[in-house]
């Protein structure tokens, strides 16, 4: 029996923290979709997303603190670091998009922004499920199908962004083009980071099953 197979209970806290972080990322995505679908009380909704992002940062900080204090980890410490960091990147992009929406005072989001928000939410919901699966590698067979679906969603987001940016350049107002293009690109970057999370999860399962 290797060291990884013998884990004292307190070292399972890493799974608790990672699951809490994945849930916080999904909470941010839900708040983003609410903002994009119901474009009222925008400053309040942006603050809510900012608060969620701060909560995510606190969890990530706790993960790294606990790693510094723990000798034996349930999975490779580098994988715990990567998973926490990539989940944090998704939430950072969600917050970055919402902050730009508030800062630029746009009248309404484009249809592409709304659809990108939906794609992000679909991805974070799947990732939350997948993060919960790695606690018990015997039950982690569902991770790879989720990873494949997250990759598909990232391709959908690429297509949405490319079409949206092409359409924007038919606008006459250069300021509108700049604002909407940047928001759209940041939303798409959130799906890129969802794909990065999926890749880390796939690697964890491959190494530990």
Within a domain: 45: yes
Q: pLDDT tens digit string along 157-170?
A: 999 999 999 998 88
Q: pLDDT tens digit string along 70-120?
A: 888 889 999 999 999 999 999 999 999 999 999 999 999 999 999 999 999
* CA separation for the pair 102, 45 (Å, rounded): 9
Q: Which helix (H) or strand (E) holds 100?
A: helix 77-104
pTM for the model: 0.92
- Domain count for the chain: 1
Q: pLDDT tens digit string along 32-51?
A: 999 999 999 999 999 999 99
Question: Which CATH number do you get for residue 71?
Answer: 1.20.58.220
Within a domain: 4: no
Q: What is the average pLDDT across 193-206? A: 97
| The pLDDT of residue 1 is above 50 | no
Q: In angstroms, how far apart are the furthest CA atoms of the chain?
A: 67
| The pLDDT of residue 4 is above 60 | no
* CA separation for the pair 143, 129 (Å, rounded): 8
């Amino acid at each position: 029996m290797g060291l990884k197979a013998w884990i004292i209970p307190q070292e399972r806290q890493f799974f608790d923290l990672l699951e809490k972080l994945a849930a916080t990322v999904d909470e941010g995505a839900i708040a983003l979709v609410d903002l994009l679908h119901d474009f009222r009380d925008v400053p309040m909704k942006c603050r809510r997303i900012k608060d969620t992002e701060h909560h995510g940062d606190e969890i990530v900080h706790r993960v790294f603190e606990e790693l510094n204090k723990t000798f034996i980890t349930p999975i490779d410490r580098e994988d715990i670091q990567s998973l926490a960091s990539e989940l944090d990147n998704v939430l950072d992009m969600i917050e970055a998009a919402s902050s730009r929406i508030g800062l630029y005072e746009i009248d309404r989001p484009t249809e592409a922004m709304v659809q990108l928000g939906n794609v992000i939410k679909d991805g974070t919901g799947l990732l939350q499920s997948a993060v919960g699966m790695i606690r018990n590698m015997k039950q982690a067979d569902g991770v790879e199908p989720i990873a494949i679906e997250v990759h598909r969603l990232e391709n959908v987001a690429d297509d949405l962004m490319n079409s949206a940016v092409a359409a924007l350049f038919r606008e006459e107002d250069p300021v509108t083009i700049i604002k909407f293009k940047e928001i759209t690109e940041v939303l798409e970057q959130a799906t890129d980071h969802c794909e990065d999370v999926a890749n880390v999860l796939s690697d964890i399962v491959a190494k530990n099953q």
